[in-house]
C-alpha cells in the first residue's frame, strides 16, 4: 500500500567514541524511507534540500522505489546540517552545530499523486509543518504515525498537542514520554498520552528496546545486544520506517500486527547503529534481514506452560 | 532438590520518592529464601543476626520451609543494618548508613545437614566468605550461583576473581559487568567474564530486564512495566532466588531451562518492588504468581514466520 514520508533529508557530522565523520547524508526521512523500502515499494517523499545535496544519494532512494516528486531542491541554498557528539554511553549527546538553511522556510507541498496515501509517516519536524501535511490529504490515511522530540515540547507545546491529537500512533523516547505526561512510570505516562488523542503509543528506549501501548495492552520489543554500536544516529527513524513499512506491506493495522511490526522496526534500527549514517541501510539482502529477525525471535523465545 | 542459601539477614531503612521506612527486615538471603520458597521447599539458610532480630520474620521463613539450623544468632550483638536513599529514577541510590555489627566477624558454619546441597546460592557477601562456604561442601553442588557487587571489585578484586572462578553462574548488573570486564558492549563484557570461569552470566538491568549469556547463546528477559515501583531494594536478590528456586524445582540446568528460570526470576523481582522491603514476597498465592507469569508471556509474545 502507498506510504507518504515527510521529514528532513540533510547532512550530519557525527562524533562517537568510535570515530567521527565529515558531512554525511542523514535526516529523518532518509532513514525512514530506506528502512521502509525493504518492506514496501510505493513510497512518496516530501522534503527539502539545497542544491549542495548529492544526486548519488537521491539515486539510491529512487532505486529503492522512493518517488521524489515531493522533494524540493532549492537552487543556491544549502541543505539542513546538524553536528553532534555522542557521550561514552551513546545514550546522550551534545549538539555542536545546527544550520537550518533550507529548513527555515520549508513549506511542504504534497504532489497530487501523493495526496491520498494509505499510510502517512510524519518524521520529526516542526509540529505545525507536520500538521500542514496532514491538512493536504484528500482522504484520511488508514494510519498516521508521528515522531517528535523534546525540543518541540519546550518551544511549541500548543502546536504539538494539536498535531498529536490528529494522529493514530505517536513515537517518542522514554524521557520524552515522561516530559510530555509529567509521570515517571511509563505505564502511567502512556495512559496520559493516549488520552491526548493517539490510539497507540510507542516508547523507544534505545539499547533497552521499545514498548507498544494501546488503552488495554502492552507489548515489549527488545533491542538486540550488539558487539559494536558505532553510531546511534537515525536509529529511531529507521525504527519508525521499519514499523510503518511493515504495516504498509501487510495492510494490517491490528495491535497484533503492530507487535510484529515492532520487531521488524527493531531489526532495521539494529542495522543502522552498526555503521555511521545510512551506510548499513543501503543494500541489505533479504537473507540478512531474515537472519536478523531470527536473532530477535531467538532472543526472547522461551516456553512456559502451566500444568 | 535441596538448596543452600548464604547471605545477609538484616535490617534496612529505605527512602524512595514514594515514602520512607523505619528499620525493616531485609538482607540478600531473606529475599533469596522467600523468592525461592515459592518453587522449592528443601531450603537451608546460612547467615548471622543479632538478638535484636525479630522472631516473627524467622517464623515466616520457617513456615516457607526454610531450615534455619545454619542461622547464627549472636547474643548481645546487633544485626547488620543498611540505610539508603533512592534517587528519583530509582536506578541509583546513596548509602546513608552502614553498620556491619554481627557481619564484621561472620564466620559461616554450614550444618552437617546442609553440606551437600544440590544447589548453592551465594548471595552478595565478602568474596572470601562466599569461598569459605564453597569449601565446606562435601560434594560439588550441581550448580553454584553467585551474586556480587561493584564494592568488592573496588576493595577485594583478587578474592573476587578466585571466587568467581569457582562458580557456575554469576549475576551482576550492567555497570558492574562493564567495570569487571573493562568493556562497554555487554556482548563483549559477557565473553570476557565467561572467560574468568563461570559457564553462565546473568546481567541484571533493573527496569530494563536481564540478559542471560553462555559462550554461544544469549537470551533476554524483559522487566514488566509497572504502574508503581515503590522500592527496588531486594529486587536483584528476589530475582536470584526465583532463578535458583525454579532450577531446583525442575532439576534441569540446561540453558533452555535457565531461560524459563529467568522469567520466573523476573516475576519474583516484579512483586518485590511493588511494596517496601519483603512485604510483597510474603503470602503470595499460586494464582498471583501464575497471573504474573502470564503477563510476562504476553509482554513479549509475537508471532513471526517466514514464507
B217 belongs to a structural domain: yes
- Over residues A170-187, the mean pLDDT reads 95
Residues of A within 8 A of B225 (CB-CB) are 185-187, 211, 218, 220
Which of B285, B242, B281, B289 lies closest to B25, judged by CA?
B281
- Over residues B102-123, the mean pLDDT reads 97
B67 belongs to a structural domain: yes
* Percent of chain B clearing pLDDT 70 (strictly above): 100
- Over residues A9-28, the mean pLDDT reads 95
The whole-number pLDDT of residue B91 equals: 77
Residue B153 has pLDDT above 80, yes or no: yes
Q: CA quadruple A269, A273, A279, A284: dihedral positive or negative?
A: negative
CB B304 to CB A290 under 8 A? Answer: no
Residue A4 has pLDDT above 70, yes or no: yes
The pLDDT tens digits of the residues spanning B63-101 come to 999 999 999 999 999 999 999 999 877 878 899 999 999
Specify the number of domains making up chain A.
Answer: 1
- Over residues A73-89, the mean pLDDT reads 94
Closest-CA residue of chain A to B209? A208
A109 belongs to a structural domain: yes
Rounded to two decimals, the pTM is 0.95
Residue B219 has pLDDT above 90, yes or no: yes
A191 belongs to a structural domain: yes
Residues of A numbered 236-265 whose beta carbons fall under 8 angstroms of chain B's beta carbons: which are they?
256, 259-260, 262-263
CB B299 to CB A262 under 8 A? Answer: no
A305 belongs to a structural domain: no
Residues of B within 8 A of A226 (CB-CB) are 185, 187
Please check whether residue B287 touches A, CB under 8 A.
Answer: no
B89 near B232, Cβ under 8 Å?
no
The whole-number pLDDT of residue B206 equals: 93
A175 belongs to a structural domain: yes
Residue A130 has pLDDT above 70, yes or no: yes
The whole-number pLDDT of residue B307 equals: 61
Residue-number span of the structural domain to which A20 is assigned? 3-299
- Binning pLDDT at 50, 70 and 90, where does residue A21 land? very high
Across chain B, mean pLDDT equals 96
A292 belongs to a structural domain: yes
Q: Nearest by CB to B299, which of A219, A260, A298? A: A219
CA–CA gap between residue A24 and residue A54 (Å, rounded):
10
Residues of B within 8 A of A297 (CB-CB) are 304
- Over residues B15-35, the mean pLDDT reads 95
Q: Nearest by CB to B225, which of A89, A218, A256? A: A218
Residues of A within 8 A of B91 (CB-CB) are none
The pLDDT tens digits of the residues spanning A198-249 come to 999 999 999 999 999 999 999 999 999 999 888 999 999 999 999 999 999 9
Could you tell me which residues come within 8 angstroms of residue B135 by beta carbon, excluding any fewer than 6 positions away?
Answer: none
* Percent of chain B clearing pLDDT 90 (strictly above): 94
A182 belongs to a structural domain: yes
Please check whether residue B92 touches A, CB under 8 A.
Answer: no
A118 near A248, Cβ under 8 Å?
yes
Residue A100 has pLDDT above 90, yes or no: yes
The whole-number pLDDT of residue A88 equals: 79
Provide the CATH number for the domain around residue B72.
3.40.1190.20
The whole-number pLDDT of residue B291 equals: 97
Got the DSSP string for B212-262? EE-SS-EEEEPPPP-S-----TTHHHHHHHHHHHHHHHHT--SHHHHHHHH
The whole-number pLDDT of residue B52 equals: 97
Amino acid at each position: 500500500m502507498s506510504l507518504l514520508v515527510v521529514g528532513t533529508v540533510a547532512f550530519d557530522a557525527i562524533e562517537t567514541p568510535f570515530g567521527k565523520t565529515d558531512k554525511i547524508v542523514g535526516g529523518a526521512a532518509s532513514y525512514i524511507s530506506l528502512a521502509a523500502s525493504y518492506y514496501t515499494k510505493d513510497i512518496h517523499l516530501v522534503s527539502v534540500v539545497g542544491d549542495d545535496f548529492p544526486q548519488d544519494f537521491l539515486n539510491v532512494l529512487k532505486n529503492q522505489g522512493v518517488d521524489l516528486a515531493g522533494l524540493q531542491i532549492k537552487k543556491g541554498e544549502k541543505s539542513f546540517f546538524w553536528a553532534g557528539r555522542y557521550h561514552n554511553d551513546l545514550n546522550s549527546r551534545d549538539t555542536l552545530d545546527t544550520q537550518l538553511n533550507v529548513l527555515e522556510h520549508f513549506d511542504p507541498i504534497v504532489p497530487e499523486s501523493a495526496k491520498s496515501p494509505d499510510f502517512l509517516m510524519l518524521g520529526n519536524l516542526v509540529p505545525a509543518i507536520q500538521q500542514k501535511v496532514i491538512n493536504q490529504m484528500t482522504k484520511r490515511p488508514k494510519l498516521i504515525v508521528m515522531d517528535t522530540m523534546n525540543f518541540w515540547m519546550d518551544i511549541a507545546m500548543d502546536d504539538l498537542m494539536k498535531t498529536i491529537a490528529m494522529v493514530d500512533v505517536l513515537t517518542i523516547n522514554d524521557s520524552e514520554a515522561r516530559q510530555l505526561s509529567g509521570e515517571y512510570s511509563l505505564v502511567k505516562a502512556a495512559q496520559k498520552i493516549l488520552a491526548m488523542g493517539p490510539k497507540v503509543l510507542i516508547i523507544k528506549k534505545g539499547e533497552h528496546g521499545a514498548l507498544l501501548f494501546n488503552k488495554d495492552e502492552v507489548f515489549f520489543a527488545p533491542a538486540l545486544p550488539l558487539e559494536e554500536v558505532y553510531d546511534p544516529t537515525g536509529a529511531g527513524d529507521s525504527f519508525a520506517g521499519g514499523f510503518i513499512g511493515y504495516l504498509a506491506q501487510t495492510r494490517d493495522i491490528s495491535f497484533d500486527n503492530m507487535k510484529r511490526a515492532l520487531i521488524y522496526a527493531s531489526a532495521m534500527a539494529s542495522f543502522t547503529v552498526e555503521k555511521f549514517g545510512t551506510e548499513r541501510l543501503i543494500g541489505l539482502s533479504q537473507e540478512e534481514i531474515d537472519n536478523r529477525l531470527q536473532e530477535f525471535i531467538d532472543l526472547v523465545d522461551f516456553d512456559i506452560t502451566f500444568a
